[in-house]
Structure 1
Amino acid sequence: MKRRAKILFFLFLILLFLGGFFGFRKNVLASDACNNHIIISEIYGGGGNSGATYKNDFIELYNPTTSDIVIDGWSVQYNTSASSGNFLITKLDTKLENNIIKAGEYYLIQEASGSSGVDLPTTDAKGNIAMSATAGKVALVDNAEKISTMNDENVVDFVGYGGAANEFEGLKSAPSPNNTQSIARKSSVCLDSNNNGTDFTAQDPTPGGENEKIIPVCVDKIILSEIYPFTGEFVEVENIGAETCNLAGWKISDEKNSPHAFPVNSPIEPGGYVALIKDFNLNSTSADSAQLFNPTNSEPVEIRSYKTPENNKSYSNEKSDVWKWTSKSTSGLENVFDEETPPTIPPKDNDYAGKIKINEVFPAPKDKNAGKEFVEIINISNENINLSGMRIEDEKNHKVYFTEKILAPGEITYLEGNFELNNTTPDTAFLIDKDGIKENSIDSVTYEKSQYDYAYAFDGTTWRWNNLLTPGEKNEFEKKLKVSIVKIKANPKGKDADLEEVYLQNKSQKKINLKTWSLATGSKTLYNHPITKNFILKPGKTKKITRKYSLFTLNNKKGAIELRYPNGAVASRVKYDKKKESVKDDEVYELSGKDWQWNAPVEEIPQEETARMENISPSEENPENINPEIAPEISEEEITLNLGKYSAENKLALAEMGFLPASEDFLQSREAPGVVLGAFSARAEVRKSIEIKSTTVWQRAMQKSNRFFNFLINRLVNLI
């Protein structure tokens, strides 16, 4: 009895470990649940009751992420507080274009009605579930199958409200509302911490709008702006983005000490400034640095270093990423600088002005390795020019020099190196003669904020950004790149959002990377979906693009698709309309000659099957032609088995390698060690012996361990 109890206890520990490792529900840690999925933002069950505010019950959803989310086939489901049966269901037949809830937008679902209260504002979906005003359970599910528990793997979000609720997220249910109150999600650093008791509060209902002001956490666009390392030290940040966001979770440290975090509610407006006043231990007598961390990275997203500070001055950003010491500290406000006497700029006067021109500047390679930037120049004169000693210099005095080079008339060359040209702020590239200064440069080009892998190039009339890089060659531009849509699959078999395809053909003579281009899709209104990853099209080749590269969606009846250049111009456009019917599973719409036509799906032979069919020998096609007197040659490497007792694994290995046992038992030969008798080739039907390699001690130990584990599992099944 004691032995059995020990075995059961041991098996319990194994199951507990496996359960903890693999999990029993499609759930996430609270820290990972923040802002990464559609959430239930408000529930109102008092609709139409005596004294009710609104005539209908409602459920409100919210998309707190930075991306649009497709809700095709989703549902909201409700159950009474103590029930353990199936939930009631409302399918989300959305009115939204392409069945999408856009980033930062709400989605209102109307449920059952009564006689009291006013009408709801415009709703996005309707159901007829009669919900309790004081206690119940609501689930958001990513399909339309009824659930019976919050632990269903398809549950996206779940709320149990009222003290009688028998299921809820976290340690406690959401509070109990009444006929004039809803339960609404609070505004905080984490919109969904998987704890209904702390995530929700009872309040006046606000269908289709914000509850408390929900401010999303800042994802990026936050930069260091000012550092004050003396008594009362502070570090200030600036929001260079276009939206108000919350600095909760962002941190600042000096070079050596632990970081300090911004308070939970720290909103910062576009173009606004917020100072964190803490004892950072910033060095006030020698060099140090301030480091900025976002909520998701352990490595700093920005480091700003300074040399020996000037007494009681702030080290501040002068808007062009040029930092200066200023006596005018401005904690939480726009930076102000001491007035400077403007330098006297001598007139331009050198021998090469008007003869050599900067022709192309490449300041922001995606590969951050040094030496990838380049500046291209062209000789527009009719004389040879010696470039020896000339240099390219930026506004911060970073210099790269030309070596010995004679530039012929009309010739183009370029200088590649680590110029440290600015990526996110304006900068100027100067071409300067030997022993010259910037104020007397041969030529200069100023650009605004750049894009990764784009060059600032001269087209003969004006300067513009171009993703076709031509160092040392004549500039070419995007308008010459011809890429066309040639086929679409709008309704693939399976889940549309993951499997829809658009086929693109490169009709130009150059290899093209479509990253930063976009696909716009829709019916009445087209929504732009940037191509966010490298997508290489070789000349004359056709290649399919999926949601791995661009988060587009295609309608199943009619719609339009545009392939757009990075500047928004349309490169190719296709419209389709199936009228009253829907596109069939795997049906494709493709260009044939000059006309578009619908084609039924073609069954494809798997590649491995095709290869097998192509390589099959005549003897394999006609096994009766095999000479039974000739045994096939079997190399020593063709099969490796274990000595000793021949288990099911040995038998399986023999079968997989083309051999089968003559009987249930394998007999070991007495004539030579490691030889098995009674096996024959399935390919030639001729018996022959097989050389078996000895197992190691470790392999035998692992076999015993596997058999023991299988024994324990079988015992557990028998006990159950």
Structure 2
Amino acid sequence: MKNKQQKLFWFFLMMTAGFFLWGDPVFSSAEDLVITEIMYNPEGTDTGHTDWIELYNPTSSAISIPKSSFGLIDESVMTLGKDGTHYLNCHGIDRDLAVDPGAFVILADKAANFETDYSDNSSELFDGTFSLSSDGDTIRVSRDKCSTFFVDLQYQPEWGGSDNGRTIEKKKYNADYSAGDWQESFVPGGTPGGKNSEKPKPKVYTDKLRINEILPNPKEDEEKNEFIEIYNDSLDLFELDGWKLKDSSAGDGFIFAGGSKIDPEGFRTIYRTDFKFALNNSGTDSVHLIDPNGKEVSMIEYKDSPEGVSYGLDRSKWRWSKYLTPGEENIFDDAPDFEIKKDKDVFKNLPANFEVKVKKYKKGKTKITWNFGDGHKSYKQKTNHKYEKKGKYKASVEIFNGSEEVTKNFEVKVENFPKYDVEIISLVPNPKGSDADFETITLRNNSKKKINLQGWSIAVGDKKLTNHPIAQKIILKSKSTVTITRGLSKFSLNNKKAKIELRYPNGKVAFKMNYDKKSDSAAEGEILEKTKLGWVWKNTLPVKVVPESSLLAVASESDNQSAVLGESDTKEIPEEMWGGQSEMGSKKDYRLVFAEYIFSSFVHLDFGITNQSRVKPALNFATLF
């Protein structure tokens, strides 16, 4: 039994020794010294400088390591020595190491160089023989001459401190050596022997500086005369060292040099000879004022700069001005004030009227630009435009008064032209007097809505009809009539026969008719009128004067109805027509009756008018007024 126990003991001892002799290195997990800062790549040449490592005791007890036991390896790949216990290339220090609780010590590759670079360092300094790689390396620290290690870390240049005079520091004083637990020192040279640096709180800069005026498109020499003006809206003087001006391009912009200042409530103007970048004349560009912390304090965006006009701040609004005032208070003209007038109803393929009324309009200086929303423009104060498709269009008009541009947006709804019930009810092809002055066509609106006849047309002819537009605005109310003269539409009526069409603005026919007097011509002053019986030629000449008691009765054989001329149908004879007295009595005793006697030998109803009810010629027919 005893022999068996002895055998088991020696077997366990051999396995344990084998692990130490031929296995992976052993690392201490107990609380121990920790590396808190590393200088692995001094700025510039290493000559005269040194790599160094800062150790910290986070425990509540002093930690000592004899010189004979201390070891440090600065290689990623370690080689086990012949003794099978210790690793090769184990660097030592010049004396025993002792670190009080909460204290720092420095291990330097060249202690003399360290003392030169850090003459004010008060921490204990140890001279070593290690050398840290600038490309990243592994650091292992041992208390048993590189047999086991209580520190094992691998640093990378991406953590910071690469040839810039700064170190890498632990954020927390513990044994976590992962990349996220390190930072580049915030002070040059690091903080050997002291508390690691903290990110400094950014200096607070004023927000009272603003961009106040810019000139992107001077009339002469842009490379000299473009300028940006800054204003100090406070009672304090400010240093501009480190402040930046830039445009929307990717360049670095212009940085104010040391000693630059801006006075209280003062201006500072920078010309392109200094800021170098070019402000765009066309398209969109922007100018930015940025403080030394990188915070944007002021920004202005503009589009399409007019020549010789600056863009400045007017209280809280940016405006264009022809008055250039670098280093002075901005000056502005009154902004363009205008009113847009357009047709209430806009129809597909028909001209719609647009007009802008500008207060203080200056011919030759006030520029007008209509944008109709369909890719077309106009530059007239009063214009028209034809939309080819129905729909809603986002339109605008821009007014530039030589100093400032103002844009107003509006919507245009385009619809198909509606159908209206409009008819021709009478015409006079052979008037008394000049045809050009007295030829007429009378229309009646049977629709429920009023109609603007502008753009409608009257087409007249025989075999081929000629179109004659109505050029003026004529409002025809519902159930009302209007007489169109040749001054409104350039038609010409033939005395014998013609075809007539009333056409919508889109060219479609709203009403058509024709007449034919056969071998006769319309008598002078004769009217063709649409009645319940059809189209009838009427003679407007007064035919006779009859006593009040002689009332004329008329009947139509076609409808067997009679009408009697009553009081409301009679008119007193004007004195100038009969000289004040007639042989039949005073003017108060008589009525003037305008009658039309229709006989086969005089005025005949059978005139070939289409869609007519014919009346027998033997029957007398009169229309009474």
Q: Tell me the TM-score normalised to structure 2 length.
A: 0.26
More strand by share: 2
Q: Tell me the TM-score normalised to structure 1 length.
A: 0.23
